[in-house]
Amino acid sequence: MIPEIAIIGHPNEGKSSVLSTLAEDDTVRISPFPGETRRCRTFPIVIDNREIMRFTDTPGFQNPARLLAELRRSGETGPAGLRHLVELTASQLEFREDHELLQPLVRGAGVIYVVDGSRPLRQIDKAEMELLRLIGRPRMAVINCKRNEQGFLQAWKDELGQHFNSWRLFNAHRATYAERIDLLTALQAIDQDWQPVLAEVVRTFQQDWQQRCRRSAEIICSLLTEILSLQLTHQCRPQDDEEMLRTRLLERYGGAVAQAEKKAQQQIRTLFKHNIFNCELPPHSILHEDLLSERAWQLLGLTRQQLILLGLFSGAAVGAGVDVAALGHGLGLFTALGSAAGVFGALSGRKRLKTGASLLGLRLAGAELHVGPAKDISLMFVLINRELLFFSHIINWAHGRRDYSEQPGKQQHTSPDTFTDTWSAAELRTCHAFFRSARRTVPPSGDDVSEQMENIIVKTLMNISLDTREQR
């Protein structure tokens, strides 16, 4: 059995937006004008080439009060009442849209009834609710507030509670992954016979999301390796202006980095099924900043405590190399000295932020000017936090949303807190090992540091996914 859910309601209540968001399908036609949907259209949910669920968009009710009166006059309810309404609406042209919206119910579909909770409750709304109650299909109500108006909510909740198995607040333009899963989970309660199959649908959704997070982590780690190991060279002639060449080489480097990042972000966007409409970044997003800008490094880079820890790891690695070379006779002295040097080096690197060319490895070697591979691990953390921020934006751009004009003034998070601020010392050690490995042209074989790095990022992506707070 493949469950089908019909999205039903009055015209222009946000039915298509709710469907688009639940189905993660931005091909659903959404219009500000009522009555645009004239025919039912079914959107299958396919995961791993298997259809697990169907959502059906329907025309809005046109004559609910008349249909309710006819149903009461007939004395029929349940399946018999539904058949009576289908026969009645099939014979009269004025009931054409009403006849069309009943077709999924004839097939056995459950109902998500969508209302705009930002407007007052009307008698015609009560007629629609009572009609659906008498037909008797499994049903849930969704309150989709199209405006920021809360004054009518309680009246809606009280009325919906009398006619539906359950109801949910669900903003189709702002719904997160966690909120979509909550709504799908709540659907299990509308009919006991549906519970096992809908529970399987929810599990499949969750597993698919985890796989997408895993694939996103792979894309991010691949991007890190590509950029951290990037090297560019320019031949210098005696008459060349060295400062100009340095500027041009850095511009080439920045262009290559931006192109690689854009490609990775497009792959992530495709993973989360944003294929048609442009997911615009908020006007104040740090993602508008150049990756190599001072502001980006200040907001998305490392905290002072993380710099100290990573400096310890870096210095300890150098010192450990000396100890090994001395067959251990250094008794840890070089490791201690190396750690101290690493700390001071990391902190001085923070102070040299404005001369970032040295942090990227820009240097003159003979008749050649070189940039890369990256010398400073801060670049890796700026990249990680940019991609995590992009991920957060993409997964929280509901598919039923088309632009930001509905809520001007919303600003994306730009405080010094970053997604990596809470990473543990062990996770930072893995980051340090990954950085050392990634900046080499050929990473050592048999090294599992890439898998460890992916696991850290997957965990962070899942935490971002389950965070129902206002988007950063």
Predicted confidence at residue 442, as pLDDT, reads 54
Q: Please write the tens of the pLDDT for every residue from 56-96.
A: 999 999 999 999 999 999 999 999 999 999 999 998 899 99
| Residue, of 333 and 49, whose pLDDT is higher | 49
pLDDT (0 to 100) of residue 404: 45
**Poorest-confidence range of 100-109, 233-242, 418-427?**
233-242
The mean pLDDT value of the chain amounts to 79
- What architecture is domain 4-172? 3-Layer(aba) Sandwich (3.40)
Q: What percent of the chain has pLDDT over 70?
A: 71
Asked if 357 and 252 count as a contact pair (C-beta separation under 8 A), the reply is: no
Cα dihedral 210, 215, 217, 221, rounded to 10, equals: 160
Where along the chain do the CATH 3.40.50.300 domains lie? 4-172
Q: Give the Cα separation of 10 and 35 in Å (integer).
A: 9
For range 190-206, the mean pLDDT: 89
pLDDT digits (tens, 9 = 90+) for 163-180: 998 899 988 878 888 888
A 10 A CB-CB count for 455 gives 15
- C-alpha 29: how far from its chain's center? 21
Residues 6+ apart with CB under 8 A from 337: 315, 319
Mean pLDDT of 216-231: 94
Amino acid (one-letter) located at 213: C
The whole-number pLDDT of residue 78 equals 96
pTM: 0.78
The confidence band for 130, taking pLDDT boundaries of 50, 70 and 90, is very high
* Cα end-to-end span (Å), the chain: 40
Q: How far apart are CA 266 and CA 134, in angstroms?
A: 48
- C-alpha to C-alpha distance for 20 and 314, rounded to whole angstroms: 49
Residue 406: is its pLDDT beyond 50?
A: no
